[in-house]
Amino acid sequence: MLGPSVFKKLLLASCVLALPAVTSVALADPVEQTKGRFEDKFRQLEGEEWPTPTDYRNAAGEPGYRYWQQKVDYRIKASLNEATRTLTATQTVTYKNNSPDTLRYLWLMLDQNNYKRDSIAQLTDTVSSSKEISVGEVRRVKRMQVWEGGFNDLKVTAADGSALAFTLNDTLMRIDLAQPLKSGESLTFTVSWSVPLPETKVVGGRSGYECFTKPGEDGNCIFLGAQWFPRLAVYSDYEGWHNKAFIGSGEFTLEFGDYEVELTVPADHIVSATGELLNPGEVLTAAQQKRYIEARTASSPVYVVTPDEAAAAEKSKATGTKTWKFRADNVRDFAFGSSRKFIWDAMGVKNADPAHPTVMAMSFFPKEARPLWDAYSTKSIAHTLNVYGKFAFAYPYPTAQSVNGPVGGMEYPMITFNGPRPVKDKKTGELTYTERAKYGLIGVVIHEIGHIWFPMTVNSDERQWTWMDEGINSFLQFQAEKEWDKDYPTRRGEPKSMVEYMLSENQVPIMTNSESIPQFGNNAYGKPAAALTILRETVLGREKFDFAFKEYSRRWQFKRPTPYDFFRTMEEASGTDLDWFWRGWFYSTDHVDIELADVKKARLNTRDPVVEKAWEKVQDDAQPDSLTAARNTGKTVVETDPATVDYYNTDDKWEPTVKEKKKYADLQKDIDPDLKEALAVKDNFYNFTFRNKGGLVMPVILKMDYTDGTSETVRIPAEVWRYNPAQVTWQHATLKTLKQAVIDPLWETADADVSNNAFPRKIDEQRFEVREGEDGPNRMKDDELVVTPDSLKTQPKKADKK
Ligand SMILES: [Zn+2]
């Protein structure tokens, strides 16, 4: 899903961003420090926060030798009733029990039931302000009084046609089996149902319809089918049946399987869907089929359905229907878009997966999305395939689609919904687009197509750990944006972009359940993306990070990883203990603020009185003399009475004594060779004191500028903090003379306060805004006193009668 932005309100309408008071909870700590104040930020997570490895997922973070997952195949026949905006379907499900367990019942996810009036989602909807309500919120409240979503006419039958009992529990449904389903066995059953589609821009959500029925519009609608049919819940080795209801934020996780879907829609509709179209001859004209074939080898997008054809279709409504047939193998869900408004462009993209050497990148959009979509949607898909293919694995499917409709940004296998559109110029009435809309579209297409890797192929559980798909995907989106344009106005991924959030009180650790995160976008998208950038650029370096990340992607392609599998793989494959990093960034709300608190310079004492006395004199001369003595104007006793002057008044105390010179000469006669060598060292020894004010232990990148004009940067690993995570002193010896030093000069660690990074400190350059039209403060006005022109008397202003 696209992160919080202008679209957030629409997407999360059932999850209004009320901000609960943050309470801190002391966690039971298996290791207790009772003497002194020391916190071991490098303590291992194994055996404490992380689960014990099993035969199903091993200690290296790989699928274990007995790894299993269920397989669920679907054959769905669905029809869209444009007039009633309802979907009706019959689906035959084949469930293969690959687990070692016997199952007596199956759980299904009925996500559309979160639109039922008595659902957890609707009943727990809270508001963020008691002072105001938006027009959108008023519309939603009024709509929900008259409209109710959710599945109707549910019927479940066994393969022999007998009815199967089922029980609804919010967005979940349990089917009780006539016979227990043993390990290795398969079961086929049928579910029939109907569901009213929500008007997405009114009630929110990830599916539904949008109609262009305002004055001057063509009166047609776009329909999006998402989370639209009863889908088998996950049964896994680490959690058994997934039983988290759909409340609105946590997206979903499902089983992989093969889909054959027949969608019956008005005859003049164009359909985009998960998978490959099996019957182009039945639904497209000969010219459209010919252009589709041309697009496979084209170097820029080709219209399969042209703007003119879409404009013609908008003028009337067909009375008949057509059935579009799709097939999708090894996917974890199925979604579609359908409209007579759709323009369709396509372009073949070369791909490294031998099973899919050419991927069809395709976009479906109404005229209202032009000319932005013609220019950027399909090209953004192609760019994503290249960049993500490089970081993870080659795109594993035959098609990659981007559909414009009422959903701001959402992903499903092979198909994504993306919202940005141009705006109408108020003067000319022409459609034009802002820079924000342009980069908004490119960014959201990269993001949503990127999700086809994470989590549509690397099947993490979004309903539990949003960061596993949104965070990892936002990190890769950042990479793809910077490969689109070095100056791309990226929103997430740069470490410095997370500073403000990491300082805020209103936050929870990244490892918090998806439904309980107050600042969703920062927590699940921005912070993990910044953390991974730091892990790549600063902690591990690109070579080790890229190898480990690719290994994680490879290991868990078409499988189901947990956070611990990610953490373990990144450590194992990079050969680096990163527990301190996960603890700080994923398990805590600490921020980064490392201060270069002090720098001291020292030379070794040569023990040569000639050298050392001279040095002492320089130090002494640098100090001011007694102010009192200097200000006294009269003559002193020793000035007026020569008899009071003796040896101590005339001796130069900076001149070495005979005794001191002899002691040094004696040392030279019988000196230990190691000591002699040490005393000859001419290096300057610099002691740098680093103070950790934010709590997060991080590498310290120290840049030293010398008086000879040269510079040196030392990248000190985070382990520098292992004895004391609050303050450490680190030494550097050099023949050069230090002029100034700065830590994190490139702002790569998300350091929250860079003003304490330099030594000596730098003056903070600012601008004062000049306020216009007001004099200085008027005391009488401030006090609200009333004065009369003829009197010096003042009196308090009378209270307003209102
Ligand atoms: Zn997303």
CA of 512 to the centre of ligand 1 (A): 17
Task: With a cut of 90, say whether residue 582 has pLDDT above it.
Answer: yes
CA of 400 to the centre of ligand 1 (A): 16
* Number of domains the chain contains: 2
Q: What is the mean pLDDT of residues 194-220?
A: 95
pLDDT of amino acid 17: 37
Asked which of 123-127, 160-164, 353-357, 369-373 is least confident by mean pLDDT, the reply is 123-127
Q: What is the mean pLDDT of residues 307-324?
A: 97
Task: With a cut of 70, say whether residue 519 has pLDDT above it.
Answer: yes
499 inside domain: yes
CA of 526 to the centre of ligand 1 (A): 11
pLDDT of amino acid 794: 57
- Let me know whether 135 and 68 are in one domain: yes
pLDDT of amino acid 671: 93
Which tens digits make up the pLDDT trace of 387-420?
A: 999 999 999 999 999 999 999 999 999 999 999 9
CA of 410 to the centre of ligand 1 (A): 7
CA of 492 to the centre of ligand 1 (A): 12
Task: With a cut of 80, say whether residue 565 has pLDDT above it.
Answer: yes
Rounded to 10 degrees, the C-alpha dihedral 491/492/494/496 comes to: 80
Q: Are 596 and 757 in contact (CB under 8 A)?
A: yes
CA of 411 to the centre of ligand 1 (A): 7
Task: With a cut of 70, say whether residue 529 has pLDDT above it.
Answer: yes
414 inside domain: yes
- Let me know whether 242 and 333 are in one domain: yes
Q: What is the rounded distance in angstroms from the CA atom of residue 626 to the CA atom of residue 643? A: 24
543 inside domain: yes
Q: In this structure, which amino acid lies at residue 778?
A: N
- Let me know whether 218 and 255 are in one domain: yes
pLDDT of amino acid 792: 61
Percent of the chain at pLDDT > 90 equals 83
Q: Which residue has the higher pLDDT, 58 or 27?
A: 58
Which tens digits make up the pLDDT trace of 716-742?
A: 999 999 999 999 999 999 999 999 999
Alpha-carbon distance values, 26 to 23, 29, 42, 46, 397 (Å): 10, 9, 19, 20, 46
690 inside domain: no
Phi, psi of 730 (to 5 degrees): -125, 140
Mean pLDDT, rounded, of the chain: 92
pLDDT of amino acid 27: 53
- Let me know whether 608 and 581 are in one domain: no
- Let me know whether 138 and 225 are in one domain: yes
Q: What is the mean pLDDT of residues 782-800?
A: 57
Which tens digits make up the pLDDT trace of 645-685?
A: 998 888 888 999 999 999 999 999 989 999 999 999 999 99
Q: What is the mean pLDDT of residues 508-516?
A: 90
Read off the tokens for 189. 């059953």
226 inside domain: yes
Q: What is the mean pLDDT of residues 492-511?
A: 94
Last residue of a domain, one of 631, 647, 679: 679
CA of 409 to the centre of ligand 1 (A): 7
CA of 454 to the centre of ligand 1 (A): 9
Task: With a cut of 70, say whether residue 318 has pLDDT above it.
Answer: yes
CA of 383 to the centre of ligand 1 (A): 17
Q: Name the residue among 18, 248, 10, 20 with its Cα closest to residue 137.
A: 10
Q: Which residue has the higher pLDDT, 28 or 342?
A: 342
pLDDT of amino acid 19: 41
pLDDT of amino acid 732: 98
pLDDT of amino acid 776: 59
Task: With a cut of 70, say whether residue 560 has pLDDT above it.
Answer: yes
pLDDT of amino acid 8: 36
Last residue of a domain, one of 633, 661, 679: 679
CA of 11 to the centre of ligand 1 (A): 11
- Let me know whether 665 and 534 are in one domain: no
Read off the tokens for 299. 């170097």
pLDDT of amino acid 430: 78
Name the pLDDT band for 433 (thresholds 50, 70, 90).
Answer: confident
138 inside domain: yes
pLDDT of amino acid 18: 39
- Let me know whether 509 and 638 are in one domain: no
Which tens digits make up the pLDDT trace of 117-131?
A: 999 999 998 887 778
CA of 557 to the centre of ligand 1 (A): 18
Q: What is the rounded distance in angstroms from the CA atom of residue 523 to the CA atom of residue 507? A: 7
CA of 346 to the centre of ligand 1 (A): 23
Asked which of 30-44, 82-96, 208-222, 447-461 is least confident by mean pLDDT, the reply is 30-44
168 inside domain: yes
Name the pLDDT band for 12 (thresholds 50, 70, 90).
Answer: very low
Q: Which residues partner with 358 through β-bridges?
A: 350
- Let me know whether 55 and 191 are in one domain: yes
Q: Name the residue among 388, 387, 360, 225 with its Cα closest to residue 301.
A: 360
Name the pLDDT band for 800 (thresholds 50, 70, 90).
Answer: very low
Name the pLDDT band for 785 (thresholds 50, 70, 90).
Answer: low
Buried b (16+ CB within 10 A) or exposed e, 770-793: eeeeeeeeeeeeeeeeeeeeeeee
CA of 451 to the centre of ligand 1 (A): 7
Rounded to 10 degrees, the C-alpha dihedral 233/239/243/245 comes to: -90
- Let me know whether 197 and 307 are in one domain: yes
Number of H helices, E strands in the chain: 23, 34
Task: With a cut of 80, say whether residue 777 has pLDDT above it.
Answer: no
Task: With a cut of 90, say whether residue 101 has pLDDT above it.
Answer: yes
pLDDT of amino acid 10: 37
CATH of the domain at 396: 2.60.40.1730
- Let me know whether 609 and 578 are in one domain: no
Name the pLDDT band for 542 (thresholds 50, 70, 90).
Answer: very high
Last residue of a domain, one of 520, 551, 586: 586
Whats the size of the chain, residue-wise?
Answer: 802
Q: Which residue has the higher pLDDT, 248 or 512?
A: 512
- Let me know whether 613 and 573 are in one domain: no
- Let me know whether 103 and 231 are in one domain: yes
Alpha-carbon distance values, 359 to 326, 455, 570 (Å): 16, 19, 30
Q: Which residue has the higher pLDDT, 570 or 10?
A: 570
Which tens digits make up the pLDDT trace of 471-482?
A: 999 999 999 999
CA of 235 to the centre of ligand 1 (A): 24
The single residue listed with the structure tokens 């009435």 is 429
Name the pLDDT band for 773 (thresholds 50, 70, 90).
Answer: confident
Which distant-in-sequence residues (6+ apart) come within 8 Å of 565 by Cβ? 57, 61, 62, 552, 555, 556
Task: With a cut of 90, say whether residue 775 has pLDDT above it.
Answer: no
pLDDT of amino acid 75: 98
Name the pLDDT band for 291 (thresholds 50, 70, 90).
Answer: very high
CA of 3 to the centre of ligand 1 (A): 6
CA of 470 to the centre of ligand 1 (A): 5
CA of 442 to the centre of ligand 1 (A): 14
Decide: helix, strand or coil at residue 212.
Answer: coil
Task: With a cut of 80, say whether residue 789 has pLDDT above it.
Answer: no
Q: Which residues partner with 293 through β-bridges?
A: none
CA of 457 to the centre of ligand 1 (A): 14
Residues spanned by the domain of 235 = 8-20+39-586
751 inside domain: no
